[in-house]
Every structure is written in structure tokens, then in C-alpha cells.
Amino acid sequence: MKHLRSIAEIGPEAVHRLLDLTDHMVEVNRRPNPKVPALRGRTVCNLFFEDSTRTRLSFETAARRLSADVMTFTVASSSVNKGESLRDTVETVAAMGVDAFVIRHRASGVPWQVSRWTTASVVNGGDGWHAHPTQALLDAYTVRRALGRSGGLDGLRVAIVGDIRHSRVARSNVEVFGALGADVTVVAPATLLPPAPLAIGVTVTDDLDAAIEEADVLYLLRMQRERISDAVIPSLREYSARFALTPERAMRLGKHALVLHPGPMNRGVEIQVDPAELPGAMITQQVTNGVAVRMAVLFDLLAAPGATIGEAA
């Protein structure tokens, strides 16, 4: 694997491999000294053109725990234009000798563009509404581990609820759970569904009350408040009434059901119960597993023969 830009691109076999490798990284992270020398001498550069706390910190931690060197480059989205200046930035940093770029950008497709400008590996840390593959991998890993499974997730019923249309998390999760054999249902009002179908075999509904009783995994997406001005939903209150996890709906969740959220949570909007009181809430585990999954991704990319390119002259 040279790049991790989307789940669809790497395919089910790589998904399984990365999840298995994550078991090792979880073991490393549980030690008193959670650090291994695996990627000594490699350099990972985080290029974040969009705000992020957990993803950036998670990648930084992951790289350091593998003994890689880390450069972090954070740009306010307004100060850098797309096109030429993005290319200049990438080429300048690459000239310092970078083995992997982790890139987050508000425009879809930027990771593919960047990989044409550098011989380094490219990891998509979130591009526009398009993809967020490491989030999807950590979600899948969290579910797999919570259920004590080691292989795929055949037959598992996963309901993804919220703003599917504008969510890279939703898109990547549909792909990852699909790759693992789960049955995926997306739950959203028609205005928050993408214009084209997400994938073959995905069920679409606007009835959360029906979906919730069936679900083994309930995945709540963050409701981006700025969407309200887009007039795609009439009001937050109406949205919450139909699509939030309310205390009544929480009661009707299966006893075994897991609840995931990519964070940051809008308490009172998509989630109206205290996750600390939901026995199936996996939100903290997701963050913890995120570091291990990103270690697995970086190791898989950079430990391959010939992965170190040393572009510095």
C-alpha cells in the first residue's frame, strides 16, 4: 500500500490487514512506555488546511509512538488558496525530506492531487465531503474489538444517522463496514442525502425509530450547525425530534447495541443523552483506538521495502 486516500481504493484485503495490525499497536499503547523503534528515521508531515484537534493530535501521537519524526503544518483555510500555492507548499516541505504526508483539506480530491506532486506516501486526514478513511478504520476497529471479533463483521446491522450528504465520515464508514460484510442503513432526511446512491446494498430510510430497533451499531454523525443556513433542514428542533438520539430512543436500543460518534459532539442536537450513561457508548474507545489505527496505517505505508525515499538533496 503506497497511499491511504480512501477505503474504496485500498479494498477489503487491506482493511483486514490494517485492523489486524492495529491489535499490535493497541498492545504497544497499553505498555508503561508506549513507544517502539519501528519507524526511526522516517518523517511524517501533517498538513492541515482545515481545523482539527483530534485527528491532528492522533496522527502526531501515532507517528511519535513509532519513533518517526513529525512536522506539523497548520494553515487557516483562508490564507492558502488551492492550486499553485498548495503545490508550492507540498513541494517545499517535500524537499526537506518527508516520507508521508497526512493531509486535511476542505476540497475533495486534494490527497490525489498531492500524490502527483510528491513521491512520498499520502494519507487522507479528511478531504471535503469526500473521505476520511482513518476515521472509518478506527470506527470499524472499535466495533470489531467491542464485539470480540477477529475477522469481518458479516451480518452486523449498522445504522448511520445524520447529515450523510455533507459527511466524509459517513461515506468512508459506508465503505469500511461494507468491506467487512456488515449491512449498512443510512438514516437521514431527503435533503441530507447525497444526490447519487452511496453504494450498492446500502439501505436508505428517514425513519430512525424503525432503524434503531434493528441496529447492532448506531453511528451518530455530527450535525454541522452551519447547514441550517443552507435551508436544508427547517430547524434544529425539528431535526432533533426526528433524528437525534433522545432518551426515549436510547431506551429502545438493543441491549447489546454500540453507539459511536466521530466527535466533536453537539450535545442536545444529535445526541440528547449523556453518553456516560449509555452502556454501549464507544466514544472514548474510538479516540483511544484512533491512535492505534493510525500507527497501523503509518507502519503499513512506511515499513514497506522502498518506502523511504529521502527526497532531500
- Between CA 83 and CA 89 the distance in angstroms is 10
Q: Closest distance between other proteins and the C-beta of residue 226, in Å?
A: 42
| Contact yes or no for 50/129 (Cβ under 8 A) | no
**Closer to other proteins at the Cβ: 30 or 267?**
30
Q: Closest distance between other proteins and the C-beta of residue 4, in Å?
A: 17
Q: Closest distance between other proteins and the C-beta of residue 29, in Å?
A: 11
Q: Closest distance between other proteins and the C-beta of residue 294, in Å?
A: 15
Here the cell at position 82 is 488551492
Strand 69-74: give its sheet, edge to edge: 69-74, 43-48, 100-105, 121-127
Q: Is 21 in the site for other proteins (CB under 8 A)?
A: yes
Residues contacting residue 130 through CB under 8 Å, at least 6 positions apart? 6, 108, 109, 168, 171
Q: Closest distance between other proteins and the C-beta of residue 308, in Å?
A: 5
Stretch that binds other proteins, among 22-30, 124-132, 153-161, 250-258 (CB under 8 A): 22-30
Alpha-carbon dihedral sign for residues 197, 145, 153, 275: negative
In the block, which residue shows the cell 441496529? 215
Q: Is 57 in the site for other proteins (CB under 8 A)?
A: no
- Within 10 angstroms of residue 203's Cβ, the number of other Cβ atoms is 13
Q: Closest distance between other proteins and the C-beta of residue 307, in Å?
A: 6
| Interaction mask 25-44, other proteins, x per CB under 8 A | -xxx--x-x-xxxxx-----
How many amino acids of this chain bind other proteins (CB under 8 A)?
Answer: 22
Query: Which residues from 250-309 bind other proteins, rule CB under 8 A?
Result: 299, 302-308
- Between CA 273 and CA 267 the distance in angstroms is 8
**Closer to other proteins at the Cβ: 27 or 214?**
27
**Closer to other proteins at the Cβ: 264 or 305?**
305
Q: Closest distance between other proteins and the C-beta of residue 280, in Å?
A: 25
| Nearest in space to 39 (alpha carbons), one of 309, 312, 299, 230 | 299
Among 66, 68, 120, 188, binds other proteins (CB under 8 A): 66
**Closer to other proteins at the Cβ: 135 or 289?**
289
Among 24, 106, 149, 242, binds other proteins (CB under 8 A): 24
Q: Closest distance between other proteins and the C-beta of residue 24, in Å?
A: 5
**Closer to other proteins at the Cβ: 24 or 106?**
24
Among 9, 16, 23, 224, binds other proteins (CB under 8 A): 23
Helix, strand, or coil (residue 205): strand
**Any alpha helices (H) in the chain, and if so which ranges?**
7-29, 54-65, 84-95, 110-117, 133-146, 168-179, 208-214, 236-243, 247-252, 283-302
Name the packing angle between helices 283-302 and 133-146 (round to 10°).
120
Instruction: Kindly list the residues in this chain that would bind other proteins in the complex (CB under 8 A).
Output: 21, 23-24, 26-28, 31, 33, 35-39, 66, 299, 302-308
